Amino acid sequence: MIPSINLKQGASAGFLWALILALTVGLMAGCGHEKDRPSDNASHLHVDTPPHGGTPVALGEEYQIEWVLDSSAGKLQAYVLDGEMEKFVRIAAPSLDLTLKLPGHEETLHLAAIANTATGEKVGSTSQFEAQAEWLKSVKTFDALLKGINIEGTMFSNVAFSFPKGTEH
- The DSSP line for 65-104 is EEEEEETTTTEEEEEEEETTS-SB--B--SEEEEEEEETT
pLDDT for 47 equals: 55
pLDDT for 118 equals: 85
pLDDT in tens, the chain (169 residues): 555 555 455 555 555 455 454 544 444 444 443 334 333 433 444 557 888 999 999 999 999 999 999 999 999 999 999 999 999 999 999 999 999 999 899 999 999 999 988 889 999 999 999 999 999 999 999 999 999 999 999 999 999 999 999 876 4
Residue 105, judged by CB atoms within 10 A of its CB (0-12, 13-18, 19+), counts as exposed
User: What is residue 51's three-state secondary structure?
Assistant: coil
The predicted model scores a pTM of 0.71
DSSP H or E stretch at residue 142? strand 142-151
Phi, psi of 135 (to 5 degrees): -65, -20
What CATH architecture does domain 48-163 belong to?
Sandwich (2.60)
Residue 158, CB half-sphere, CA atoms under 13 Å: how many?
Answer: 0
Contact predicate 74/137, CB 8 Å: yes
User: What is residue 122's three-state secondary structure?
Assistant: strand
Between CA 34 and CA 12 the distance in angstroms is: 34
